[in-house]
Structure 1
């Protein structure tokens, strides 16, 4: 067993929770801390993050599906997962526990509260998530990604750190945006979140096919689609004469973003953090069923900064998207201005700032003890 200070990072199993947790883990490890990730089976299965960090995978299940039976099963899974985490903490007590939201973070944060271990919460979205709301009152600190985050309880110790981005993205952040010029390529990246999005596969290929021949010939598209949609999306682009690469998942999103001149995506927090860091203009389609409508709140911040264009899911049709793209491609200066707007929202020091706060809390607790 190492003598290094010991930090637990607890995260939901989606990219939106895992990516900022990994960014903070990098900073903590560099500072000499030992880190363990606590997550669920989804997080345990993501292979391109936390490759060198120990993982504790819980059998926790979501309360968001399965009706009454699913909710009861979720409560039991959280209960037994909390017992498992407490046993883990008794074997080796962490210095600090950090929760990044999502139901799989609850057992570790709850165990920390029960065992009087200091804990910190990080919120990626513009609306405080349900787990973070439940646990905020006794947190040493709640770190927020944006000013005026909604639904933060009163009398909670907060700080605005921004949303940590992976080291790779941060290292690429200062590379200039290249606006499409003359008759050159127009490079598009289509993202649907960590699991892809069917609506992107339904709408975007048809919308791009509706553009004029001049624009279609210039398009160079990278499109993330669900595995079951790859074949039909590939056919749609081929039939429209559009150059496109379609994959269920892109490992090198940073490299693709570096080349991309316009992104069409959901408005999940980690996606937006990476877009702001790299200054990539975007058309955003918030997920309508997102908890507390947090994706719409995220996208509204981008739109208000002149950094992108928001289309509600109910309005996201091929015809509407074709019309918007026609207008944007007619005057590429709007895309350049949106790139500048994105960069005004970037918080490139978020990972270091949050890691420093965690270290300070751990040091303070050690002195008290």
Structure 2
């Protein structure tokens, strides 16, 4: 029988929820805790997060969309999943449940609340998500990634921990940024989150093709695109004689970030956290349909700190991006200053901070 203290982490849906869960899991495992991941099918399918973790996979619908029928099905699936998790907790009661937001975390948090198990919530974004808002007032702690996070219920008890980044990223964080001086390669990285981003595939190749000949000849781009867009993006770069690597998935984003000098990306929370940890300046294109416009809030924090530049979707056109790139790539001091500013935003011990909160609650629970 396993007698190690038992912690449940509830996360899923996207890498933005799974990556911080993995970071905290690593710390808890090192400290002798037994960790179970409760996730959904999408979280279970993410190939580079918590691959060795014990897991309990739910069939919970990941959103409340699809009209009235879709909402009813989502509610029914959440109720069913909550009952399943309650059964799991009756077989082995966790000391603490940690929810990382999103609908896949809701059944575990609901089960914890209904059975008197203490729970902690972690919010990755600058705006508290819907599930975390719903469950915040009953949480022992709502751990925030950013000061002055928006839409936090007044009755919630909060602590600012930062957004945990994977151990690999934190290990690489002290490696110096390489400014693209002289006539060497200019290494760009395009990432659109775990699902890619069509708008980046539509705009970036055309923008690079419009650069001056001397800059275009130096560009070397690594581009994550949706699987259905890979071939056309490859052809666009080849037609402009731009050195390129285009794939739908990259196993080691940390190594790509280490090598690159400018990132063009969405502004999901984990992307922003990893960029800041490694000091990589970025042109950020927030997802316009993101819930509560949280990606714009995330990007705004970085832009105000001087770590990057925000281009709204409606303004993200090939000519505008080409103009921005022409400016940045001909004045490397702007990139160097943005790299320094990015590092100022980083919170490299976020995983340890959050794990410490969880462990202190587990100790209290064990003493009862």
TM over 0.5: yes
Q: What is the distance in 1 between the residues matched to 2:211 and 2:57?
A: 47
Q: How does 1:124-139 map to 2 (within 5 A)?
A: 124-139=124-139
TM-score by length of 1: 0.99
Larger displacement relative to structure 2 (58-67 or 3-12): 58-67
Conserved 8 A contact 1:62-1:71: no
Secondary structure of the 1:137 match is helix
Q: What is the distance in 2 between the residues matched to 1:189 and 1:69?
A: 41
Provide the residue aligned with 2:86 in structure 1.
Answer: 86
Provide the residue aligned with 2:25 in structure 1.
Answer: 25
Conserved 8 A contact 2:196-2:226: yes
Deviation at 1:13, TM superposition (A): 2.1
Q: How does 1:162-311 map to 2 (within 5 A)?
A: 162-311=162-311
TM-score by length of 2: 0.99
Conserved 8 A contact 2:12-2:44: no
Q: What is the distance in 2 between the residues matched to 1:145 and 1:73?
A: 32
The count of aligned residue pairs is: 368
CA distances 1:22-47 after superposition (whole Å, capped 9, x unpaired): 00000000000000000100011112
Unaligned residue ranges in structure 2 (runs of 5+): none
Deviation at 1:62, TM superposition (A): 2.7
Deviation at 1:87, TM superposition (A): 0.2
Provide the residue aligned with 1:44 in structure 2.
Answer: 44
Larger displacement relative to structure 2 (55-64 or 22-31): 55-64
Q: What is the distance in 1 between the residues matched to 2:131 and 2:138?
A: 13
Deviation at 1:66, TM superposition (A): 1.4
Unaligned residue ranges in structure 1 (runs of 5+): none
Q: How does 1:125-164 map to 2 (within 5 A)?
A: 125-164=125-164
Deviation at 1:64, TM superposition (A): 3.8
Deviation at 1:49, TM superposition (A): 1.5
Runs of 4+ in structure 1 displaced over 3 angstroms? none
Secondary structure of the 1:360 match is helix
Provide the residue aligned with 1:120 in structure 2.
Answer: 120
Provide the residue aligned with 1:67 in structure 2.
Answer: 67
Conserved 8 A contact 1:137-1:155: yes
Provide the residue aligned with 1:101 in structure 2.
Answer: 101
Deviation at 1:261, TM superposition (A): 0.1
Conserved 8 A contact 1:63-1:75: no
Across the aligned residues of Structure 1 and Structure 2, the Cα RMSD in angstroms comes to 0.7
Conserved 8 A contact 2:124-2:144: yes
Provide the residue aligned with 1:339 in structure 2.
Answer: 339
Provide the residue aligned with 1:58 in structure 2.
Answer: 58
